[in-house]
Amino acid sequence: MGLYKLFSTNVEIQYKSCLLSKATLFTLITTLLTIILPFLIAHRSRGFWLRTHNFYEHPVIHYPYEYILVAETDDPSQPIVCSEAAVLNQEIFVGEENCVEIQAQEYDFNDDGKADALEFNFHLMIPQERTISSVIAMLALDFQLETVCPLHMQSLAFIQKSFTVPPSGLKYYGDIEFYQTVHLPCLRNIVDKKYNSSLMSYFRSSSENIVDFIMVNYFQRDSML
């Protein structure tokens, strides 16, 4: 029995959509996030698998006009002590009347707004019956880092010189270096002020002399100059 074709027609189905549909927008966003998100994470974490990182910065250092100057004489019980510190003004120092003149000046050689050098001059009136055997000078310094690891602390410059013959003067030149025994916190937009307190502190009840008391507290810090 044969079969006959009675009728046939073509069926055309058209699907229409906008140029930017919800599905296209979703695909575009997920693709961009897949590409950009790893870079954002790497930037916020300051690098994947970063073990060490070195950076160089010119710190901001100012002299807050706090100092202690001890000029020891041939008589250990009669030193000449000069000081300009708020917490030490209540102490009566031996030989302080012999501190004739103290001058301090900061220099900015390249005009970048940051001090490059500090000149500290002192003039003492030595009693005729005494000679200077050693000089100890402690200068307070205000130290700040502002870029990678924001840090603000009070630090100390320590100078000590002994003499075998009676001196007519003393000139001392040196560079300031930053030392640390532990890693800095390096928290973004958070300034570390753990040690932002004056080092020129002394308690009357302490059995140590002023110099030893300050130096012991200073070397117990994690960071120092």
pLDDT in tens, 83-99: 887 555 555 555 566 78
Of 198, 212, 214, 177, nearest to 85 by C-alpha is 198
| Cα distance between residue 106 and residue 15, in whole Å | 79
Into how many domains does the chain fold? 2
> In the predicted model, what is the mean pLDDT of residues 65-83?
86
| Same domain, yes or no: 47 and 98 | no
**Residue 204 confidence (pLDDT):** 54
Which of 51, 69, 95 corresponds to the end of one domain? 51
> In the predicted model, what is the mean pLDDT of residues 175-202?
81
Domain contains 175: yes
| Same domain, yes or no: 43 and 91 | no
| Same domain, yes or no: 125 and 203 | yes
CA angle 7/13/18 to nearest 5° reads 165
| Same domain, yes or no: 179 and 95 | yes
Domain contains 117: yes
**Residue 32 confidence (pLDDT):** 92
Listed range (21-35, 102-116, 119-133, 183-197) with the worst mean pLDDT:
183-197
76 pLDDT tier (thresholds 50, 70, 90): confident
Domain residues for the domain of 41 are 18-51
Most confident option among 64-78, 88-102, 172-186, 207-221:
64-78
**Residue 224 confidence (pLDDT):** 61
* Tally of CB atoms within 10 A around 185: 12
Domain contains 10: no
Look up residue 97 and give its two tokens: 């009347």
**Residue 30 confidence (pLDDT):** 93
Domain contains 153: yes
Domain contains 154: yes
| Same domain, yes or no: 73 and 177 | yes
Domain contains 11: no
| Same domain, yes or no: 162 and 204 | yes
| Cα distance between residue 163 and residue 80, in whole Å | 15
* Tally of CB atoms within 10 A around 136: 19
The pTM of this model reads: 0.69
| Cα distance between residue 213 and residue 127, in whole Å | 28
**Residue 46 confidence (pLDDT):** 62
> In the predicted model, what is the mean pLDDT of residues 15-19?
75
For residue 14, is pLDDT > 80?
yes
